[in-house]
Chain A
Amino acid sequence: MSTAAVEPRLKRTWGLYEVYIGKKLVMAGTGVVLVLYIIGHLLGNLQIYAGPEQMNQYAAFLHSQPGLLWTARIVLLAAVGAHIWSSFLLWRDKRRARPIGYVKKDDIPASYASRTMMWSGPIIAAFVVFHVLHLTTGDVGLGFQPPTAGPTGEAFYAYENVVNGFRYPAVSAAYIFAIALLTMHLYHGMWSMFQSVGISHPRYTPLLKSLAHVFSIAIAAGYISIPVYVMIRFGVK
């Protein structure tokens, strides 16, 4: 039996978070949750191409599982909260680390995406708030149709709401802009999360970077196709 003292788990976890690597672990972990959501949400959204029936049924299906829906919402909110809080602490420490800046500073290999994570993040978060007010709660208006009681439970008008919303060029433009920033965020974040938790390999890390780039652009293409499709098919308002 070893006599080595083992720190209690809670104390250890807290100690971990004091150092930037612990905060990065939270950034990476919550990043995985958010990426999974981004994939799932895209798969849901792409049903717009299957027509109003399919999309509205899918919306009704999600709302028929309040336990799952609310679990997902709470997990997402917690992940977003932890992601933002950790990034804020890291940003604060980074600002303190260089109180006097350079008169002249040049970046050599750092990609635009990697240097603007702290900008793309909050703008995406602001857009998500608008997006929820627009298509979930309907507070923005823009021809939003709230769910109505139907013969087989509530009827949802997800398809109509998306079409009505994206026919406004300003709404589509804001959406496309936010997705472009999301692409940049993922472009760096999706491989960076591996490095942060110590996963690096001379052969697989370059592959991982390429995969992150391809994946982030594929995600962007999927999302951006929707407002473009709506504006072409139904015309702009």
Chain B
Amino acid sequence: MNLILHVWRQKNAKDPGRMVRYEARNISAHMSFLEMLDVVNEELIARGEEPIAFDHDCREGICGMCGFMINGVAHGPERGTTVCQLHMRHFKDGDELYIEPWRSRAFPVIKDLVVDRSAFDRIIAAGGYISVRTGSAPDANAIPVPKENAELAMDAAACIACGACVAQCPNGSAALFTGAKIAHLGLLPQGQPERDRRAVAMVVQMTKEGFGHCTNIGECEAVCPKEIKLDVIARMHRDYLHAAWTGRQKPGFREDQPAEEPMAGNRR
């Protein structure tokens, strides 16, 4: 099949960037979307042009590296999939596709379709972990976890931090991502000691990064390749409000606050 592509080209972070029209010829329906771009890139390289830069790694839909907008939808028209697992059989000959990077103040474009998602790393660093004594691994059954909680925590933990939720959200909100991380740890017994602190630290970091707010419209849930549900956002709101209510954490910004040492959570 032959396709017409309109791709966002931007040399570097400073370049204003623009949409460029390309023709993708002789595309097999069995290719993945990224393989289609590989074909286009080979042609560009043969012509001596700069290939289209895009993030990718595992190409199995589990690493969270790839992702861009296809016709205004994060990861394209298929639900529950990343662009690397999106196959060209879902498109028709002659389709015109607009390919753009994630758009968010917190995700500056590095080049073409590649964005800097280190804002997510900083949200995780703010509290998306549990502080544990290192040493020999504990027995798997040493801490009983109810089956339902284990399942819900696992569903939330499926988040691959690709950033599609932010890209699709009309408010540029990272609530689904942060909610997934907070819900994942908040559902497990190991996550309890730092639950209040985690909710506040991660939500405050998310706000500082410049993500928008959540209007509960469900766009993020629709494009999430791991089909994470809006319920995790309610869990984040609940944990955050609980922490604010009990008052062990100041629920807003702490300009004077030095970086917290990892064990601070156990210091009630």
Residues on A lying within 8 angstroms of B by beta carbon are 2, 4-7, 9, 11-12, 14-25, 90, 93-94, 96-111, 114-115, 117, 188, 191-192, 195-200, 202, 205
Contacts and interface: CB of A to CB of B under 8 A. Distances in A.
A117 B212 CA distance: 16
Contacts of B217: 109-111, 114-115, 188
Nearest to A4: B268
B244 A16 contact: yes
B180 interface: no
Contact of B240 (A19, A115, A117): A19
Given A16-B252, A104-B71, A99 B237 contact: no
Contacts, number: 162
B237 A196 contact: yes
Contacts of B215: 114, 117, 192
A87 B32 CA distance: 42
Contacts of A199: 234, 238
B211 A97 contact: yes
Contacts of B100: 102-104
Given A12-B251, A108-B73, A195-B234, 20 more contacts: A7-B247, A7-B248, A15-B253, A16-B241, A20-B213, A21-B236, A23-B213, A24-B214, A90-B212, A90-B213, A93-B212, A97-B172, A97-B212, A102-B69, A102-B100, A108-B222, A108-B223, A110-B217, A196-B237, A198-B239
Contact of A15 (B172, B212, B230, B251): B251
B250 A104 contact: no
Interface string B245-260: 0011111110000000
A94 B171 CA distance: 5
B9 to A, nearest CB: 12
Nearest to B218: A109
A107 B170 contact: yes
A23 B46 CA distance: 54
A108 B217 CA distance: 10
A6 B171 contact: no
B105 interface: yes
A109 B233 contact: no
A103 B251 contact: no
B251 A20 contact: no
B244 A197 contact: no
Nearest to A98: B172
A101 B216 CA distance: 20
B113 interface: no
Nearest to B107: A98
A20 B217 CA distance: 16
B129 interface: no
Contacts of B168: 108
A19 B207 CA distance: 6
A110 B170 contact: yes
A22 B238 contact: no
B191 interface: no
Given A12-B244, A90-B213, A98-B212, A115 B170 contact: yes
Contact of B203 (A12, A19, A94, A103): A19
Contacts of B125: none
B156 interface: no
A188 B207 CA distance: 24
Given A97-B172, A192-B216, A109 B237 contact: no
Interface-central residue, A12, A97, A102, A197, by most chain B CB under 10 Å: A97
Contacts of A20: 207, 212-214
Nearest to A193: B216
A2 B230 CA distance: 36
A157 to B, nearest CB: 42
Contacts of A96: 105, 210, 212
Given A25-B241, A110-B219, A115-B217, A15 B69 contact: no
B93 interface: no
